[in-house]
Amino acid sequence: MSHLKVHDRTMSTSNDSTSIVKGMSSRFRKLATAGVGLSAAALLAGCATDAPQDTWKPAGANAQKIQDLQWPVFLTAGVVGVIVMAFIALTVLKYRDKGQPIPEQAHGKAWLEYLFIAIPAVILAAIAIPTVGVVMALNATDDTECVINVTGQQWWWEYDYEVGADGTICGYAPSAVEASPIITSGQVVIPANTKVLLRGTSRDVIHSYWIPRLNGKRDMVPGRVHFLRLESDTPGIYAGQCTEFCGLSHANMRMETVVLEPADFQKWLDNELEPYQAPAEGSLAAEGESTFIAQCSRCHQVNGLVDPNNGNIVVSYPDQFVYSGAAPNLTNLMGRNTFAGATWDLLTPECRADVWEASPEEFGDKYLAGVSQDCLNEIDLREWLRNAPAKKPMYADPAMLEQTDGKVRGMPYLGLSEDQIDQLIAYLLERK
Amino acid sequence: MFTTGSKLLFGASGASLVGTLLYGVLIGGIMGTVGLVSLTAGLIFLAGINAFIRDANVAADDVARFSGSAAATPRPASSVWPIGVAVGGVLIALGVVIHAALTIIGLVVVLAASAEWLLQGWAEGASSDASHNREVRGRLAYTAEMPVAAAIGLGLIVFMFSRVMLGVPTKSSTIVAFSIVATIVLFGGAVISRARSLSASKMFGLFSIVSVVLLAGGAVAGLNGEREIEEHHTTAHYAELDKCGEEEISADEHASQTVAGKANSSAEVTLDENGLSYVRPGLETPQTGMIQLPRSNANNILFRNETAEPRRFIAELAEVEGSPARLCTALIEEGGVQLLTINYAAPSFDPAVEESGGYAFVVAGLDDRIEVVVP
């Protein structure tokens, strides 16, 4: 009697489970299709060629160390992941509820538990040993050949090159003048095959410096000094961006590392240290110089700029107007290819492509040519000068600056006329 | 015709009338005259009332009327609250002249005393049983009286204790606070906890003695005034006064000469027998002569003295807007380290900076210096 009852229950359960299994298989097919589609899309994304921030394309010794580490780690993790997922899938499918009695529960298999502890421990140890080695190698500073200070602030990076005790900058002595500190922003220029150490900090909030093709990330924290090694043997431009959320325009805080052959780095250095050349008298650029002094020099420094009205050297005081206390030095603005935190190019798309896609042999000359009148991306620069906060989100509304005692974070709206913008562009074009 | 009480009052009225007339004629003065006239009128009024009710006398042998008379009814307990209201009123009046705080205190006293007075009056009419009336009053009043009394008591203890602490020298304060008083409290607590029973009167007596001692000590200490508290200035204060020299200053006493955050300094400056040198993080080679530091940012500079003489490290800053003229450390003993955080508000090429001699690191009493370049 009891046997019959069990049989009846099994029959009815079998009918129910058949319909359930059909429903499940239908849903499974949909889920599987979606999963395969997403996986394929992710895989295809990896095939992108225009990916300047590709972590899998190292272009220097430091990034190569990471690459050499991450390949076996990802491979190991992938194999473990596949085994675990396959085991789970097998268990789910083979032992799914089909109305069978609950199987006997196993306890006390000590050898199995030891095995499940030992396998992950061995894997983790095998990964940890080279990881610690790479971490230590990436933190080494005893082989530094060139130190460049990098300071983050909302939302751009400032670089200053120190003059060493031997009167050189990164071991390069200026050809014509005495060495003096170089301050630039947006793009940091380094000599190829040189162990460069970025000595980084921040003026306002925590930022994070990352050039994926040259090294990993490093936080830049106010009041602290952190290091990041950069090195590349291939001339070119390597892009990166801030990877620590730092406020309204975090996504627009980018940076580029420019690698030049030693001879080209020497040229760049000499150019940066060239004395200030005032615009020709009566030119549009000369009018732009006056406009710059009146409108921009409160925050932006141009080294060597002298006010023609009184003969005084023009000194900027950004700490009085800007929350971070700094604004980009524009001495050689057109010697670099970007502006506004490396968010926009100073080059037109065609000229930019010409520089970015240049071969390592041709790159130096093309980069050092700077921005010419024909190659100037006047559209973005003009929009920026017309209304900077409208182009890049910044805390620059005078009515909302109580918390910062009236100091702006970013560049404010200056109310420049179109004539003034023409003058400024003409003046800035000569800053290279 | 006249009862005994009436005779007294009429006599007093007559004397007052005579006194009023004499004062009014011989001395004069409106206020005095008005006062005496009022007194006389009051006495005459009372004399009339007393004569009318015939001293409220009841014959002693009239037992029924005697026991039922108003004079035979037990009088309610004397009340302190009218005095409280009067004191509060005086405080209000004084406060108008002296200080507004007194007026507020007086107002609080008047309100509290009035409430107590009303409550007492209400409770005394609750029944003919005085003990029951007291209990009724207690039920209502204690819920407010106890917390307020406790708060005032604790406040007094804290205040008086603080007066004692401020009145004695620093080391004695520590001994008083953490040794003697603590021992007494511990001993007293042990005695109380070990006693099988302690009557309320003994407890009250004990706490009364402690309270009196504390109040007396507080009062004496308060009258003597606070001890002279020496003001300790930082090295920044002395730097403003141009006292970053070789001589010892109060900021040198107990100054810390160890720094923990060495990994995050902008530079470590060392003074040894060869003079001043520095090491920047990232480049371990010691350098001399010139150092480059960023503008508008906190530069943490560690100074280490490796000479036998105590030395003071000075950062010479230009006298430009938003910057002090100099900063200095305390006198550093041999092997000691201190930190200066410096924010340069203007670049080195600022004419104002150049005119004031530029930025530099120096050591008091020595000629050696490191020029600071701020681009």
Q: Using a CB–CB cutoff of 8 Å, tell me whether A301 touches chain B.
A: yes
Are both A265 and A301 inside the same structural domain? Answer: no
Q: What is the mean pLDDT of chain A?
A: 91
Q: Do B300 and A199 touch (CB under 8 A)?
A: no
Q: Among residues 321-340 of chain A, which lie with CB inside 8 Å of chain B?
A: 324-326
Contact: A144, B283; criterion CB under 8 Å:
yes
- Side chain identity, residue A173: A
B chain contacts of residue A142, beta-carbon cutoff 8 Å: 284
In whole angstroms, how far apart are CA B167 and each of B181, B212, B219, B229?
A: 16, 18, 10, 10
Domain CATH for A346: 1.10.760
The rounded distance, in Å, linking the Cα atoms of A421 and A384 is 10
* A380, two tokens: 């973005």
Instruction: Kindly state whether residues A291 and A257 are assigned to the same domain.
Output: no
- Structural contact between residues B54 and B86, judged by C-beta atoms closer than 8 angstroms: no
Do A256 and A143 reside in the same domain of the chain?
yes
Contacts of residue A323 in chain B, CB cutoff 8 Å?
Answer: none
Among all chains, which residue has been given the structure tokens 């580029």?
Answer: A256
Question: What is the CB neighbour count within 10 angstroms for residue A71?
Answer: 11
Closest-CA residue of chain A to B352: A315
> In percent, how much of chain A has pLDDT > 90?
77
Does any CB of chain B come closer than 8 Å to the CB of residue A274? Answer: no
Q: What is the DSSP secondary structure assignment for residue B101, as one 8-state letter?
A: H
Residues A212 and A297 in one domain: no
Give the span between the Cα atoms of A207 and A198, in whole angstroms: 14
Task: For A141, name the nearest residue in chain B, comparing CA atoms only.
Answer: B282
B369-373 and B290-292 as β-strands: parallel, antiparallel, unpaired?
parallel
Domain termination site, one of A208, A240, A271: A271
Residue A55 backbone phi and psi in degrees, to 5 = -70, -10
Flag if A147 and B282 touch (Cβ within 8 Å): yes
Is residue A320 less than 8 Å (CB to CB) from chain B? yes
Check whether residue A136 and residue A226 sit in a common domain: yes
Nearest CA in chain B to A225: B264
Under an 8 A CB cutoff, do B375 and A181 touch? yes
Tokens encoding B208: 């009364």
Distances (CA, A) of A46 to A40, A56, B307: 10, 10, 61
Q: Which of A143, A142, A125, A141 is nearest to A200 (CA)?
A: A141
Closest-CA distance, A312 to chain B, in angstroms, reads 9
Task: Compare all CA atoms of chain B with the CA of A223 and give the residue at the minimum distance.
Answer: B298
Per-residue tokens: A48: 């992108």
Return the half-sphere exposure (C-beta side, CA atoms, 13 A cut-off) of residue B280.
25
Residues of A with Cβ-Cβ distance to B280 under 8 angstroms: 147, 162, 199
CA B360 – CA B355 distance, rounded (Å) = 13
Place of tokens 């390592």: A360
Residues of chain A contacting B259 with CB distance shorter than 8 Å: none
Cβ-Cβ contacts under 8 Å, A315 against chain B: 346-347, 349-351
Question: Are A238 and A156 in a shared domain?
Answer: yes
* Dist CA A368 CA A362 (whole Å): 10
Least Cα separation, residue A157 to chain B (angstroms):
13
Residue A38 located in a structural domain: no
Assigned domain for A41 exists: no
CB contact under 8 A, B281 and A163: no
Domain check: are A359 and A225 in the same one?
A: no
- Give me B235's structure tokens: 């090295």
Residues A148, A56 share a domain: yes
Digitized pLDDT (tens) for each residue of chain B, 375 residues in all: 677 788 889 999 999 999 898 888 888 888 888 889 999 999 999 998 888 887 777 665 666 766 666 656 666 777 889 999 999 999 999 988 888 999 999 999 999 999 999 998 888 888 878 888 888 888 888 988 899 989 988 898 888 888 877 777 777 777 777 788 788 888 888 888 887 777 888 888 888 888 888 888 888 877 877 777 777 788 888 888 888 888 888 888 777 777 765 557 889 999 999 999 999 888 888 999 899 999 999 999 999 999 999 999 999 988 777 677 889 999 998 999 998 999 998 899 999 899 888 999 999 989 999 999 999
Asked whether residue A55 falls in the same domain as residue A180, the answer is: yes
Element holding B156 (H helix, E strand): helix B130-167
> Over chain A, what HEC string results?
CHHHHHHHHHHHHHHHHHHHHHHHHHHHHHHHHHHHHHHHHHHHHCCCCCCCCCCCCCCCHHHHHHHHHHHHHHHHHHHHHHHHHHHHHHHHHHCCCCCCCCCCCCCCCHHHHHHHHHHHHHHHHHHHHHHHHHHHHHHCCCCCCEEEEEEEECCEEEEEECCCCCCCECCECCCCCCCCCEEEECEEEEECCCCEEEEEEECCCCEEECCCCCCCCEEECECCCEEEEECCCCCEEEEEECCCCCCCCHHHCEEEEEEECHHHHHHHHHHHCCCCCCCCCCCHHHHHHHHHHHHHCCCCCCCCCECCCCCCECCCCHHHCECCCCCCCCCCHHHCCEECCCCEECECHHHHHHHHCCCHHHHHHHHHCCCCCCCECHHHHHHHHHCHHHHCCCECCHHHCHHHCCCEECCCCCCCCHHHHHHHHHHHHCCC
To the nearest 10 degrees (0 to 180), the angle between helices A378-386 and A418-429 is 130
Closest CA to A157 of A339, A386, A394, A303: A339
Give the count of beta carbons closer than 10 Å to the beta carbon of residue A246: 21
Distances from the Cα of A248 to the Cαs of A395, A407, B25, B196, in angstroms? 8, 16, 94, 72
- The minimal CB distance from B283 to the residues A147, A319, A324 is found for A147
Domain extent at residue A296: 284-429
**pLDDT value of position B3:** 76
Number of structural domains found in chain A: 2
R_g (Cα) of chain A, nearest Å: 30
Closest residue by Cα to residue B316 from B261, B367, B357: B357
Is residue A229 domain-shared with residue A83, that is, in the same domain? Answer: yes
For residue B252, the model assigns a pLDDT of 82
Q: Of A244, A271, A298, which closes a domain? A: A271
Say yes or no: A227 contacts chain B, CB-CB below 8 A. Answer: yes
What are the backbone angles phi and psi of residue A39, rounded to the nearest 5°?
A: -65, -40
Say if residues A207 and A246 touch (Cβ distance below 8 Å). yes
- Kindly provide the ipTM of the predicted complex, given to two decimals: 0.80
pTM: 0.69
Q: What is the pLDDT of residue B43?
A: 93
Query: In this predicted model, what pLDDT tens digit does every residue of B359-375 receive, in sequence order?
Result: 999 999 899 999 999 99
Please report whether residue A14 resides in a domain.
Answer: no
Please give the structure tokens belonging to residue B152.
């005032």
| Selected residues 143-202 of chain A with any CB under 8 Å from a CB in chain B | 144, 147, 149, 151, 160, 162-165, 180-183, 197, 199, 201
Q: Is residue A4 part of a domain?
A: no
Interface test with B, best of A153, A170, A201 (most B CBs within 10 A): A201
Give the sheet arrangement for strand A146-153, strand by strand. Answer: A182-185, A156-161, A146-153, A196-202, A226-230
| Angle between the N-to-C axes of helices B200-224 and B130-167, in degrees from 0 to 180, rounded to the nearest 10 | 40
Question: Are residues A229 and A83 part of one domain?
Answer: yes
**Residue A238 · residue A214 · CB < 8 Å:** yes
Could you give the dihedral angle defined by the CA atoms of residues B319, B347, A311 and A327, in that order, rounded to the nearest 10 degrees? -130
User: Is residue A155 a part of any domain in this protein?
Assistant: yes
The answer to whether the CB of A157 falls within 8 A of the CB of A341 is: yes
Which of B281, B322, B373 is nearest residue A181 as measured by Cβ atoms? B373
Residue A79 lies in a domain: yes
Q: What's the token pair of residue A246?
A: 């730092």
Name the residue in chain B with its Cα closest to that of A166: B287
List of residues 6+ apart from A170 with CB closer than 8 A: A145, A146, A147, A148, A161, A190, A191, A194, A196, A265
- Among B288, B297, B321, the strongest candidate for a mutation testing the A interface, having the largest count of A CBs within 10 A, is B297
A137 C-beta neighbours (distance < 10 Å), count: 15
B265 touching A (Cβ < 8 Å) = yes
Residues in chain A closer than 8 A to B263 (CB atoms): 225
pLDDT of residue A100: 87
Other beta carbons less than 10 A from residue A354's beta carbon:
15
Regions of chain A short of the pLDDT cut 70:
1-25
Which residues in chain B touch residue A164, judged by CB atoms under 8 angstroms apart? 287
| B39 contact A CB<8A | no
Domain membership flag for residue A179: yes
Write A349-353 long-range contacts (CB < 8 A, 24+).
Answer: A349/A377, A350/A375, A351/A375, A352/A377
- B350 interaction partners in chain A (CB closer than 8 Å): 315
A204: CB partners within 8 A, 6+ apart: A152, A153, A154, A222, A323, A324, A409
Give the pLDDT confidence score for residue A19 in this predicted structure.
57
Q: What whole-number distance in Å separates Cα of residue B140 and Cα of residue A316?
A: 74
Task: List the structure tokens of B254.
Answer: 């107990």
**Measured between CB atoms, does A313 come within 8 Å of chain B?**
yes
**Cβ atoms A309, A337 nearer than 8 A:** no
Check CB contact of B262 with chain A, cutoff 8 Å: no
* Chain B residues close to A222, C-beta within 8 Å: 298
Is A128 domain-assigned?
yes
| Rounded Cα–Cα distance for residues B331 and B313 (Å) | 8
B280, B346, B375: residue with CB nearest A160: B375
Which of A231, A246, A271 marks a domain boundary? Answer: A271
CA–CA separation, A277 and A109 (whole Å): 83
Asked if residue A182 and residue A62 are part of one domain, the reply reads: yes
The answer for residues whose C-beta is within 8 angstroms of residue A284's C-beta and 6 or more apart is: A422, A423, A426, A427
Of A160, A313, A317, the CB nearest to B349: A313
Asked if A319 and B345 come within 8 Å (Cβ–Cβ), the reply is yes
